[in-house]
Amino acid sequence: MFTGIIESLGTIRRVVPQGDGKMLQVGCDLDLSDTCIGDSIAVNGACLTAVHLEKHAFAVDMAPETVARTTFKTAAPGMRVNVERAMQLSSRVDGHLVSGHIDGTGVITRMEKKSNALIFTIAVDPHLAGQMIEKGSVAVDGISLTINRCTDKDFSVSIIPHTAKVTTIEFKQTGDWVNIETDMIGKYVRKFLTQTTAGGPEKESTDITMTLLAKNGFL
């Protein structure tokens, strides 16, 4: 589990194809002395398992499913990435709950300067847009952000100077693809409010009533 508060800007040093999967070696400025093989590390928001460790570098294996769902299809040496180790429940939990399981990708369609902020508009598939609400949370390349506005095809977020400085947002341009993870709690609520017919596909309820909320344990 992660928070979406990026700890380090890393750099991909090496990419090794493994069939439809890949192995990545990533360098970063974190002291990984207390990290163990088998620990989870989020790279651009994707939860990956450390299989080799150095003091300031680590290697991770990516299964074909991970490659297919993320921007790592085009991963190459020199690519900058956001790095976050798994959260510690003994400290403050900033950001929001991020599983590191990428739901899909989006493309940056617009970047606009507004006072001290950068406004990013990101186009996504409708099934992802349907899981977002204004002022809700979203992880973009693993960065915990608040949704300013959302439609059935895109959403916008504000990036403050500090976030731009300590993450890969600083290097992004219009047309770049990013990893998207929608809010975990929102996905569960959406699931619970979905009606399922026996043996058939899920059918989304068109009316949220007091009866429906009570039936699903929300009252």
Residues tagged active-site: 2, 40, 47, 49, 63, 101, 146
Which residues make Cβ contacts (< 8 Å) with residue 214, sequence separation at least 6? none
Residue 88 CA to residue 138 CA, distance in Å, equals 21
Nearest C-alpha neighbor of 157 from the set 176, 132, 187, 186: 132
Greatest Cα pair distance, the chain, in angstroms, is 56
Residue 191 CA to residue 189 CA, distance in Å, equals 5
**Contact status, residue 143 vs residue 94, Cβ threshold 8 Å:** no
First to last CA, the chain: 28
**Contact status, residue 157 vs residue 135, Cβ threshold 8 Å:** no
Nearest C-alpha neighbor of 139 from the set 108, 93, 99: 99
**Contact status, residue 145 vs residue 104, Cβ threshold 8 Å:** no
**Contact status, residue 150 vs residue 105, Cβ threshold 8 Å:** no
| Residue in this structure with the two tokens 């921007």, named with its chain if needed | 71
